[in-house]
Structures are given as C-alpha cells and as structure tokens.
Structure 1
Amino acid sequence: MKAIICTKYGPPDVLQLKEVEKPAPKDNEVLIKIYATTVSSGDARMRGSTFPKGFWLPGRIALGLIKPKKSILGYELAGEIEAIGKDVKRFNEGDLVFGFTGASFGANAEYICLPEERVVVKPDNMTYEEAASVPFGALSSLFFLRDKGNIQSGQKVLIYGASGSLGTFAIQLAKHFGSEVTGVCSTTNLELVKSLGADKVIDYTNEDFTKYGKTYDIIFDTVGKTSFSRCKSSLKQKGFYLAAVAGLPQFVQMLWTSMIGSKKVIGGITPGRTEDLIFLKELIEAGKIKSVIDRHYPLEQIAEAHSYVEKGHKKGNVVITLEHNNKT
C-alpha cells in the first residue's frame, strides 16, 4: 500500500511517499480502506518537532528522541472496513466509518488497522472528506468546553482562533450548549465565523478584545496565541481560561490557579473517547454541527499540505484524499 513516511524530524520535505506492507487486523481490530485523512496542526508539530514551550524534551521522549517512533503520521480518517478480526463485535465488512487514531497515528496511508473502539459509523449526511475532518477539532473542542470548562447555557464564551479546526467546531458546540459566543479571527475569516453562529466577531488585526472591559465565563484559546495574564481581566470571577496549546508556563499557571484565585487556567490532552465521537455524530446527523474544509490535496502532495498548515492561516481543515476514493 501507499503511505507517507516520516523517518526524521524536519521541514515538510522530510515526508516521503512509499510502498509499505498492508497491515492485517488483530483479533480486536478492523482493517480500514482510507478514503480521506487530514493534516492538522498536531501533525505539523509532530513532523517538525515544534512542541509547546518547555515540552521539547518530554515530547521527544514520548514520540521519538532521534526520529519519530511512528513513521506514518495522521490522526483522522474516514473510510470503509475491508476486514475484521475474529473478536470484533460492532462492525462488519463494508461498514463506512470515521475515527481518530490518537498517539498511534498512521492515518496518512491507504489502509490502517485500529481497535474497533477507535471508530464509529460515518454520519449519513457527510462525505468522507467532511467526516475525516471531525475528530481532531471537534473532540478537542468538546473536551475543553464541556469537560474542562463546564460550559453552561447562558454563559458568555470567547473563542480565540475561531476560524481554525478547533475554533470552527468550538463555535458550533458552544452555541449548541446555549452560550453567547464571541469569535476572534482575522479580517478574511469574519464572514465564515459569523456563518457558523457566532453572536459577535472581533477582527484581531483591528481590535484587542481585552481593551473593552467586557468579561467572559470562558476564554478558549485554540491556537496558543494569547496568555492568561493578558486575558485575566477579561474573565469573570470563577471564569476559565482554556489553553488548547499548553506549554510549561501554562501548566505552572494551572497548578498555581488551582490553589489560588477564582479564575482558573485549564489545559489537558484530549482522550478521544468513543462515546464522545458518537455524541458528535448525533449532532452532525441532527444538523447541529458541520465540518469546514479549506483545501484538498492528494496523498502525493501532503508536503504542500503541511507547508500550508504550518503558516497558521487555514480555515477549518485541510483534507487529504486518496486515489482509491471513488465514493462520496
């Protein structure tokens, strides 16, 4: 099978298209023929070894000190089950699914084997490309807003980086939970963020949301471009500053604010639970949330996709389509 191989850390051109052995499912696994995958900011950080501040060494220890332990990157996928292990109970051959690989990566390839609990039946009202775009951004936003931020109906929520993968899902999820949502993005993305349901949109190139005296129950920085010290005065008492991209300074603040003061800094690693993916699927099928796709690339042009993602200006998601993708 074809796969994108990353044998060393570095710029996008370290990625190489190669023929590798097609995997076979273990007893509890399904073999998925992948029709669509993505390049996320997480993929770009992994490939370039650009971990959050203070986490370069722990990141290298976890993911590979000299070179990546997992040579095939990719967190998200959508496709068709081609074979199942003898202990698989939830799926049959031919089922259409989407899923999230977690730390095992491996989705930038024509086939992948995953434990059955890692995938869910694809929403009927989504293409493979749209479904593959869901797990990374939507699971992360759900984890931060609902599990960490305890989002409640009627709260005021500010999403910083509202036009990215996490941001576009965060807006829609915050609206689903009944919050009043302010999105912060660049000039070119104002209309997109409005169209997703934001009650107010702030152009960060022209306005500084911290200067107007408005306060929020939750400030969710999806891109790691603000700081708690800058946003503290814009948080209500008992408010949460959610840091999706948390380095060592944020973790120190998390510990400190957990002991002192009413305003809390919260970070964490998205667990990627099956029940959360099912919850998101139900919202999708109910028409409550949708994917935003910026660009499509074939597998052979994945280095270009990484270069684009690395610039930090993508709108929603960047999708990789595979040659054998002949279905919608």
Structure 2
Amino acid sequence: MAAVVGIQQQRRPAAFALRTLAVAACYFAAGRLGLLCRLDVEGAVFTPVYPPTGVALACLLVFGLGCWPGIMLGAFFLVLSLGTPGPDVVGILLGNTAGPVCAYLMLRRVGFRTDLGRLRDGLALVFLGAMAAMLISPTVGVLTLILAGKLAATHFWPIWLSWWVGDAMGVLIVTPVLLVLLGARWPPPLNRWKEVLALAVTAAVLVPVATRSSLSALFLVYPLLVWAALRFRLAGSMLCALFASVTASVAATDGTGAFAGLSHIQVMLKLQLFNGSLALTALLLSAVITEQRNTRLSVEEACQELAEALEHLTAHDHPAGRAPPPEAEELRRARDER
C-alpha cells in the first residue's frame, strides 16, 4: 500500500510538469502563428486576433486553475522570441496571465458550461470572458511599457485599444473552436459529409472573394455563417468564423481588397469591427439554435415518458378486450410518428 501511495505521489509532480510544458508549448505556438499577421499602430506591432488568450482560457476551462504556470511560461518564451526582455517583462507576463485567469474565475462564478449549449453561456463568454476580463492585460501591459519609457503616454489609448481588441478576439474566436474540437464526437456522422464538403468548398471560394474584392463585399460572409450555424451549430459556425477572420486578417496585412487605400488605424478599426461582428453572430446564433434544439428534445422525451406511463396505467385499469382511452392512442401515434 505504501509503495502504491509513493508511486502516485511521484506521478503527480511529473503530470503537473508535463501539463505545464504542454500548455506553454500551445501558448507559444499560438503566439507565433498570430504574429504572422501584424498591424502597426503608433509604432507598436499588434495582431488583429491574438490566439494565445483563447488558448489560455480554453486550457483553464479544461484543465483547471492549476495550469496558470504554463500560461506564464509560454508568455515568457513568446516575449523572449521577440527580443531581449527587460524589467518590464514582469508586468507584461502578469497581465497576460491575469487576464485569462480572471476570465476563468468569472465564468466559473456564473456556471459556464464548456459545451456552449445555452445562450447564457455565449453571453457570458462575450461579456465576461472577452470584453471584461481582457481589460486587464492591455492596461497592465501598456502602463508597464510607458513606465519603462518604451512608449509615449500620448499613445496610450490607440495602443491600449488595439491590444484589448486583439485579446478579446482571441477569446471570442479561438476559445469556442478549441472547446468544440475537444468535445466533438469523432468521427462525425457519415450522412453529413456531403453537406460538410459543400459548405467547405463554398467557404473556400466565397470567403477569399469577399475579403479580397475591391467592392468591399465582406457582407457576403454572413449568409455562409448562418448556413453553418443552422446545419452544424457551434462547430460549423465557429470554424467558418475562424477561417473568415484569418483570411480577412491576411488581406488587411497585405492591404488588399476591402482594406486597400486605408491608413493603419482605419485598417485596424475596419478589421476589428468585422471580426467582432463575425464572432458575435456565430457564437450567439449557434447558442440560440443549440438551446432551442435541446429544449425540443427535452419536450419530446417528456412526451414519450408520459405516453409510456399512460400505456402502463391503461394496461392495468382496462382488462383485456377493452380499448384504451383515446388520449393514450393519440400519444402513441405521436410517439410513433417521431
């Protein structure tokens, strides 16, 4: 018995270390991918969608609060890859870690479910996880850089806004996708592959045209988003939103299509308005559809249980040879039709 306890105590630190390294690696990889699409705002470089914040919140929701050292470690290696860090790196690491941790604590407080099957879960992720909690990292980070003399105080608001929007978009777009992928049923049903293929081909053709057309046709993405939400709920809508956001970010970085001829500030504002409305539409619409579907299934199950109960009662109350009451017959027919 003592040997078994000793082995378990040895495994716990090893499992914690492996989980910390895995979270740090995912955070670092997401950060490097996000930096492929950069925008310059008042001399500072930002990403329209900052994936590490979405990865960090998803890890906290799946593994719990104990994975916060992995988030801080991943943020440190990401800063280290951009240059030699100074004393101001402490404030940046604290802000980048405190934001997702605060989002996790607030979501747990309101009973957030990772399946995002209720409208309240979508609203909580938008207003608590993205908009409220992500105020921490830009505030701490920008103030730290100003105090360190790396940024001018007059540039506080443009840089702060770009930082905050990038972090919020990471939560709105990346976190739902990761939660859906972790909770998805694999492999998907075979009877849906034709429609999945049709949706994928349509998205591959329509989204690049909408983002790179000189006619500023970004609105063409929304019917595709509605189709994905109605037929595939959260999985389809959020994957389409992620693809459209990445494609639009690349077009904005290249200065083509709907983002041609605009200043850096105008490109940032237009791209973030598009990404924000895209993520909100996909998340809230799919949450409403999923909630209505779950309600319908619950009503159908209740009707089936009531029909079985009436059938059981009538079998005892009416001897053989006598017909059951018409109410039981109607419920039985309705059950058979379903």
TM range (shorter): under 0.3
Point out the structure with the larger helix share: 2
Q: Which has the larger radius of gyration?
A: 2
TM-score normalized with structure 1 length: 0.26
TM-score normalized with structure 2 length: 0.26
Relative contact order: is structure 1 or structure 2 higher (C-alpha 8 Å, sep ≥ 6)? Answer: 1
Point out the structure with the larger strand share: 1
